[in-house]
Amino acid sequence: MKSISNVTILDATMHPYEKKLRRALRLRLIAMAVGLVWASLMGYSEFIIPSYETYFEQQRFERQLAECRGARASQRYDCKSELLLEKQASEFLAWTKRVVVVFAPPLFLIWLVTKMALPKKPTPGGLHRNRPDPSSRKEPSGEDEP
């Protein structure tokens, strides 16, 4: 590439595969920027902004713990431990959902852009393979022919 007064001009000798690779890199960078914006906005809305549902869920959980009654301590313990396990499972699922909502779309977008933008591999000889001149090839000798 040649640079003339802040204007970049593509070299005429650049292989088409290199042009496609540069295009793919630009598209990946754009996809990464879009993904970063998505993750920051959704991360803020999912993790930073407090949810009113959590307050009411905590109040309901405390009421359910207070309602655990039984004649023996083991019955009360079993009731409370069952409620705690249910709460932990629901919190795990809620956090898993939040993480998926924040990070899955940008990762999928970057993967998709990478798969669609990357060109096929060049020929095995390399990008700038010099083909032999047809006139410099050896002529078959006529001794083998009948």
pLDDT digits (tens, 9 = 90+) for 88-136: 999 999 999 999 999 999 999 999 998 888 877 766 665 555 665 666 5
Instruction: Give CA 34 to chain center in angstroms.
Output: 11
Entry pTM? 0.64
pLDDT digits (tens, 9 = 90+) for 44-99: 999 888 778 888 989 999 999 999 888 899 999 999 999 999 999 999 999 999 99
pLDDT at 10 over 60: no
Secondary structure of 61-128 in the HEC alphabet?
A: HHHHHHHCCCCCHHHHHHHHHHHHHHHHHHHHHHHHHHHHHHHHHHHHHHHHHHHHHCCCCCCCCCCC
**Residue spans per domain, the chain:** 14-118
